[in-house]
Structure 1
Amino acid sequence: MNNKILIVDDEEDILLVLEHHLVKEGYNVSRAIDGHQALSLLNAQGFDLIILDIMMPDIDGYEVCRRIRRKGIKTPIIFLSAKTAEFDEILGLEIGADDFIRKPFSVKTFRSRVKALLRRKGSSETSPDTIRIRGIEIQRSSYTVFVDGKKVKFPRREFELLAFLAANPNKVFSRNLLLNQVWSDEVYVIDRSVDVHINRIRKKLTPYRDILETVVGIGYRWNTG
């Protein structure tokens, strides 16, 4: 079944361009010209991804996102914005968005971010929301980790790497595969980035750091044995 994507933007030409490229990729696409129309569509049907412009009249993208999350809708959201300040991106992520793309952007970048987010969504839907092993508890929907009952802070990338490995226990994953799963395809990162994040995660999981096993010459495994 093809993924259903909702695009929300008050600029008709942007809607048409994005719709064209997404349809070419095989997605089912719906369009909304403002926040009111978007919320009406979301009340009527479900979507696999929402692409949401921030600067819209009446109800801006931030408020649309807040209302979506207040309804308990967990559909991934990508913000589109001409805003370039780091504050705007942080605000968007804090109120519930999953990604943030600055305008102008290339079609290649846009497509890769969509694919990466849908891939992560598919992975999370086939895995339990809460993962418990030994003294570790990972709550996927709230991005929360407890170690021996104490809440431990994990930045987004560290959490997603941890959650992906924990949701696929005892499977060995190469660094390249982990990069593709956790980092968006267009972001320039190297294998060493995975190693750095793994080391940070291990420090926070002490005394259970050995559960993140290095498989020499290949990659990493969440070892429950």
Structure 2
Amino acid sequence: MRILIIEDDREAAAYLVRALREAGHVVEHAADGAEGFHLADTRDFDVLVVDRMLPERDGLSVISGLRQKGDPTPALILSALGQVDDRVTGLRAGGDDYLTKPYAISELLARVEVLGRRRLGAKEVETVYRVGDLELDRLSHEVKRAGKTIVLQPREFRLLEYLMKNAGQVVTRTMLLENVWDYHFDPQTNVIDVHISRLRSKIEREAGPPLLHTVRGSGYIMRAGA
């Protein structure tokens, strides 16, 4: 799943990011409410994990603002305020679950997974992408071509997932830097070229016609056929 953590405590956030990534999720982090609202409003996530007390914009305001814009993404609220009235206020602001600090990471992971299943069941999100005979399962993280399993590293999987999600459309280098590497600047390296080359060698080795095409001067496109 794609998860956004909105948490201003950088040590706590780093721990959450690491734990969720180790569980196989794709995770982004925002350090304040304004940045978190912008990311949640402009990108597609399966679950939001939102601290209640945040600089710039508090967590409940972030969630209620998203609800007002029609965004139904499930949100788990984290807070040191654990009284009944506090939890009720959080849920009425648009939260889907409420977890009081300190918490066990195992419980947080379980709650995130429950919210993710609820999201997939309610939205009918496309969980399997297909381009030609290439298939990527977002939930199991399995990639197959012509029925044969292809083993990818986490970054390669995320790169392929984004390309296949946008199959038939040109994906620019800037789009890849922002959505796969979480860079909002040009690192002036050949990191994209290296990963594209590795990915292409894996998905097209001993397989059928090319599926990952370079569009000179623009970027890349996933499609079956020339």
TM range (shorter): 0.5 to 0.7
Secondary structure at 1:210 match in 2: coil
The 2-side partners of 1:67 and 1:126 are apart by: 20
Aligned twin of 1:115:
none
Aligned twin of 1:152:
150
* C-alpha contact 2:212 2:221 (8 A) present in aligned 1: yes
Matches within 5 A, 1:46-85: 56-57=101-102, 59-69=103-113, 71=114, 73-74=116-117
* 1:66, distance to aligned residue in structure 2 (A): 2.7
Gaps of 5+ in 1: 10-14, 77-124
The 2-side partners of 1:155 and 1:212 are apart by: 17
Aligned twin of 2:162:
164
The 1-side partners of 2:57 and 2:184 are apart by: 20
Which residue of 65, 78, 95 maps to 1:32?
A: 78
Gaps of 5+ in 2: 1-39, 42-46, 68-74
The 2-side partners of 1:66 and 1:45 are apart by: 22
* C-alpha contact 1:212 1:222 (8 A) present in aligned 2: yes
Cα distance per residue 1:81-130 (max 9 Å; x no partner): xxxxxxxxxxxxxxxxxxxxxxxxxxxxxxxxxxxxxxxxxxxx797321
Aligned twin of 2:212:
212
* 1:214, distance to aligned residue in structure 2 (A): 1.0
Q: TM-score, normalised by structure 1?
A: 0.54
The 1-side partners of 2:215 and 2:224 are apart by: 14
The 1-side partners of 2:62 and 2:92 are apart by: 25
2:165 maps to a residue whose letter is A
Determine what percentage of the aligned residue pairs are the same residue: 27
* C-alpha contact 1:5 1:30 (8 A) present in aligned 2: yes
Distance 1:30 1:221, change over 3 A: closer
Query: Within the alignment, does 1:193 sit opposite 2:201 as a pair?
Result: no
* 1:209, distance to aligned residue in structure 2 (A): 6.8
* 1:45, distance to aligned residue in structure 2 (A): 9.1
* 1:200, distance to aligned residue in structure 2 (A): 1.0
Q: How much is the aligned-residue C-alpha RMSD, in angstroms? A: 4.5
* C-alpha contact 1:214 1:221 (8 A) present in aligned 2: yes
* C-alpha contact 2:131 2:167 (8 A) present in aligned 1: no
* C-alpha contact 2:177 2:186 (8 A) present in aligned 1: no
Q: How many residue pairs get matched?
A: 165
Secondary structure at 1:180 match in 2: helix
1:32 maps to a residue whose letter is L
The 2-side partners of 1:182 and 1:43 are apart by: 32
The 1-side partners of 2:66 and 2:179 are apart by: 20
1:178 maps to a residue whose letter is L
* 1:172, distance to aligned residue in structure 2 (A): 1.5
* 1:72, distance to aligned residue in structure 2 (A): 5.8
Q: TM-score, normalised by structure 2?
A: 0.54
* C-alpha contact 2:135 2:143 (8 A) present in aligned 1: yes
* C-alpha contact 1:169 1:224 (8 A) present in aligned 2: no
The 2-side partners of 1:126 and 1:183 are apart by: 27
* 1:171, distance to aligned residue in structure 2 (A): 1.5
The 2-side partners of 1:151 and 1:177 are apart by: 27
